[in-house]
Structure 1
């Protein structure tokens, strides 16, 4: 098992990429704290995910936009599992609109969750990682953070900022043996893409060399690689998982 006895914290873990990552990590021997703003859903997800490994998963409710709840979540994980080895900053939202129609509230909401949320959890989790002189931080960015997208100025800025945040944290934390990397998914079949029209999906798939949208487990597998010893000489990098959509 590639993550035996490791403890992982995954935000936005109630569904989609976060849930797939939690399930894969559990299957590889990790103990996992699933974090989400939806308390009821994340608890249900944690219970379902842990059926094969009882006691190895816990659901925690936290609002990533508020540092005190992130810090409290980290403390809860330490109390239950004694340490944190891996942090996956996956929590994210979209509020799409064209630039001239986008409200300040739409801009702020996306930046607060997608970028500030990663800052909050990384800051909180970095302290126990530094004491242990070991850790992995994996930020779930996006291909639109690399190339931009019409109607997603806020989302693109948040994910581009997350990539820059990844590189800065990699430089700050390397001396403590904490590796910080990002994954930039392309279009993945989640609740964020399920709302698209069939025509919009067809146009998107037409841009992907492999001819299909990604699945949450495709991103989870990349996260597993970055969380494992297989990536022990990789930090500050952005791993594209996009089916050839962005080269």
Structure 2
């Protein structure tokens, strides 16, 4: 039987690595993206080599209309991976109310509503799984990333609560909490700043997106059938 997974933020570093990993494993994919259509079209060509069904979905998840677009595009579903998002950097006192609203919509309300609307489809299958990509900062917090830490912490609380509510249905939900990952999200930092950052991590380097996608794929697999409501830190020992 065909397996379908929805990946939000599929054009980002972790989302794209997850799409490649799942396509290799025979998953059919709904690939959500926003803005960079040319990049997504090129990515689709790359994924076609895996002989899997690919359904691109363009939607702005910082809006309620974007959420509706995603939900109305899904027809069969076995898994959801929520990996879209941005991370504004700066003092909390400098954040605009618009930015705070946008972050709450993008990282909290939109994933919650997507999952709420699609849960009935997931529950039609004997085993289904949801993975939210949170962050090390959702676990421990970070100065100059206060709103990002807040919304990522909210994702963790949501996973812990919902897992208890849906466990008997056969649907599992977990969080992956990456540390510093070699993606475009770190472009705001200089080479020297990234070197200092890497030196603070016990393993001495940043994670690659594929190291995060391996954990996501595991949480979607039968090998993790007794794991739900958990936060899996993938941070090189940076936070334990």
Distance (whole Å) between structure 2 residues aligned to residue 238 and residue 52 of structure 1: 33
Q: 1:32 aligns with which of 18, 29, 33?
A: 29
Distance (whole Å) between structure 2 residues aligned to residue 72 and residue 103 of structure 1: 27
Deviations 1:208-246 (A, max 9, x none): 111110111111000000000010000000000011111
Change in CA separation of 1:67 and 1:107 when aligned onto 2, cut-off 3 Å: closer
Distance (whole Å) between structure 2 residues aligned to residue 225 and residue 45 of structure 1: 27
Q: 1:89 aligns with which of 79, 82, 90?
A: 82
* Deviation (angstroms), 1:116: 1.7
Change in CA separation of 1:226 and 1:115 when aligned onto 2, cut-off 3 Å: same
Q: 2:180 aligns with which of 161, 176, 187?
A: 187
* Deviation (angstroms), 1:28: 0.6
Distance (whole Å) between structure 2 residues aligned to residue 200 and residue 45 of structure 1: 32
Distance (whole Å) between structure 1 residues aligned to residue 22 and residue 144 of structure 2: 34
The aligned residue for residue 166 of structure 1 is 159
Distance (whole Å) between structure 2 residues aligned to residue 173 and residue 101 of structure 1: 39
Alignment: residue pair count: 240
Distance (whole Å) between structure 1 residues aligned to residue 42 and residue 121 of structure 2: 26
CA RMSD after TM alignment: 1.7
Structure 1: which 5+ residue stretches go unaligned? none
Change in CA separation of 1:68 and 1:135 when aligned onto 2, cut-off 3 Å: farther
Q: 2:63 aligns with which of 59, 63, 66?
A: 66
Structure 2: which 5+ residue stretches go unaligned? none
Q: TM-score w.r.t. structure 1 length?
A: 0.91
Distance (whole Å) between structure 2 residues aligned to residue 38 and residue 30 of structure 1: 25
Q: TM-score w.r.t. structure 2 length?
A: 0.93
Contact 1:49–1:57 (CA<8 Å) still a contact in 2? no
Distance (whole Å) between structure 1 residues aligned to residue 116 and residue 172 of structure 2: 14
